[in-house]
Structure 1
Amino acid sequence: MRQVTVLGSCGAYPEPGRACSGFLVEWDGFRLVLDLGYATLPRLLSHCPDGALDAVVITHEHPDHCIDLHGLFRMRLYGGDGTKLPLYCTPGVLTRLSGLEPEADLRSVFDIHELPGAHRVGPFELTGVLLPHYVPNVGVRLQNHQITLAYTGDTGPDSLLAELGRDSDLYIVEATDRKGEPQQPQRNLLTAEEAGHWATLAGARKLMLTHFWPGNDRDASATAARKTFDGEVLIADEGLVVPLDRT
């Protein structure tokens, strides 16, 4: 099985029936999750009973990207077999989650690898690249000899976005479209049209829009992205499964 399953697609906070950022990547039995925001853990457990994963990657410390990691921590702390789970994240993630339960050591459950940086993770070469946001934040590139998947959960416009998604088979890009953000002097979020622009510069084959601001019209976001991207545009909806192939 080689696929990506959308666990959550909202930015900031979940809408009814939805969850915040989260994606399950499966490749020939290897299971990796990208971000675990609000309400993603129950969805993850429907695919991975008992939290059986091979790796977790968290892009930054904002709760809509990492809060359900603490639930996974408790599951493995009290119900696991003692095997540590590799966790790739920015340092702020540990600081943020440690504040929830200071007496519990996250390192007793997770084998920590700091991002940004490059790591071998199962069948993938993982590269974490710093991107502009309110806190230290990475875009993630997963690559092997058959597929390239790139993901940015949060970011302002930056030339590194073209390199992050270079020749990717699937580029998952935030399309927050938060009102007033394009007028800010320091940009920390993208519009859907900008997501399409960077996917085009990257030469991506497929673009998936995610991290929608609650209440936004997702079809309108897809229409905006198609103004700047000629390839296939997908909307990240909870439960959507996208095969990782080049057909």
Structure 2
Amino acid sequence: MLLTILGGCGAWPAAGQACSGYLVEHDGFRLLVDLGSGTVPRLLERVGADQIDAVFISHGHPDHCADLNPLLRARTMRDDPSPPLPLYALPGALDAVLALDRPGVLADAYVLHEFTAGGGFDIGPFHARTRPLPHSVPNAGVRLTAGGRVLAYTGDSGPSPGRVDLARGADLLLAEATFVNEVPEASRRYLSSAREAGRQAREADVRHLLLTHLHPGTDTSAALAAAQAECDGEIGIATSGLVFDLSRA
């Protein structure tokens, strides 16, 4: 299983960066997990829009799904339109982004598979187990298994035992860490910190931790230090262009 970080900014893309978006590949199958603002140009530097096999969206905020629109346009507004793209999302999560074009423009560009968080299903060679995690809108964390390897991704989430359960024994935990140490009171139920991500990685006994969704302008050295204070494992930052081979984890 191969993970390529397309973007890891939270809220909006910093200059030269992109919001949350991750390309996960196994046995020639290409799955996009989230597709936030600025991710499609990053994606198209690596593969063609018609080479994507499916998309999984954790929740409906634009920093996680806004670039679904240009991806679908790139697949359908051409002389040889691509087959409908399977989309996996919570009920209603994609209503806004799919409504950006006038009715019918993208009707043949996708097939929407809505799911209830807490269940499991297959996406190509991946088995996806989902779990509802607390955020300001419904959010689904996902645990992807393929080839004997496990990638866990939180989406955006406040503190929850569910994050530990989702990540238990994973080869790689891709964890939202918007803040460094303390989460502001107004966001405490909905977002997490690098320190909390480190603590949860330790409790879940994951092999590797990547911090993602850092607020633009965050001191990445401070975020790493905060996570390392709680976890002795290997920890990194999800930056655009980073490639992580789980088969070597």
For residues 104 and 198 of structure 1, what CA distance do their matches in structure 2 show? 44
CA shift in 2, pair 1:107/1:150, >3 Å: farther
CA contact (8 A) 2:50 2:82 kept: no
Normalising by structure 2, report the TM-score. 0.93
Instruction: Calculate percent identity across the aligned residue pairs.
Output: 46
The residue that corresponds to 2:103 in the other structure is: 103
What do the CA deviations read for 1:162-194 (whole angstroms, capped 9, x no partner)? 111111000000110079734248510001000
Task: Name the TM-score, length of structure 1 as normaliser.
Answer: 0.93
Any gaps of 5 or more consecutive residues in structure 2? none
**Moved segments of 4+, more than 4 Å:** none
Q: Residues 178 and 135 (structure 1 numbering): CA distance in 2 closer, same or farther, change over 3 Å?
A: farther
State the Cα distance separating 1:144 from its structure 2 match.
Answer: 2.8
Q: 1:179 to 1:149 in 2, by over 3 A?
A: closer
**Mapping for residues 83-102 of structure 1, pairs under 5 Å:** 83-102=83-102
Determine the structure 1 residue equivalent to 2:227.
225
In 2, Cα distance between the equivalents of 1:163 and 1:107? 37
Q: CA deviation at 1:122?
A: 1.4
- Say which of 235, 238, 241 aligns to 2:237: 235
Aligned ranges 1:99-138 → 2 under 5 Å? 99-104=99-104, 106-115=106-115, 116=117, 117-138=119-140
* Equivalent runs, 1:29-40 vs 2, <5 Å: 29-40=28-39
User: Cα deviation per residue 1:170-220 (whole Å; 9 max; x = unaligned)?
Assistant: 000011007973424851000100001111111110000000101110111
Change in CA separation of 1:140 and 1:200 when aligned onto 2, cut-off 3 Å: same
Identify the residue that residue 81 of structure 1 maps to in structure 2: 81
Task: Map 1:48-197 to 2 at 5 A.
Answer: 48-79=47-78, 80-104=80-104, 106-115=106-115, 116=117, 117-177=119-179, 181-184=183-186, 187-197=189-199
Q: 2:213 aligns with which of 202, 205, 211?
A: 211
- AA aligned to 2:142 is V
How far apart are residue 50 of structure 1 and its match? 3.2
Once residues 106 and 132 of structure 2 are traced to their aligned partners in structure 1, the CA distance between those partners, rounded to angstroms, is 24
Is contact 1:193-1:228 (8 Å) kept?
A: yes
Q: Matched residue pairs, number?
A: 246
- For the residues of structure 2 that align with 1:66 and 1:110, how far apart are their CA atoms? 14
Superposed CA deviations along residues 106-153 of structure 1, whole A, max 9, x for unmatched, are: 552212111323111111111221111111111111013510000112
Question: Does the CA contact (< 8 Å) of 1:44 and 1:51 recur in 2?
Answer: no
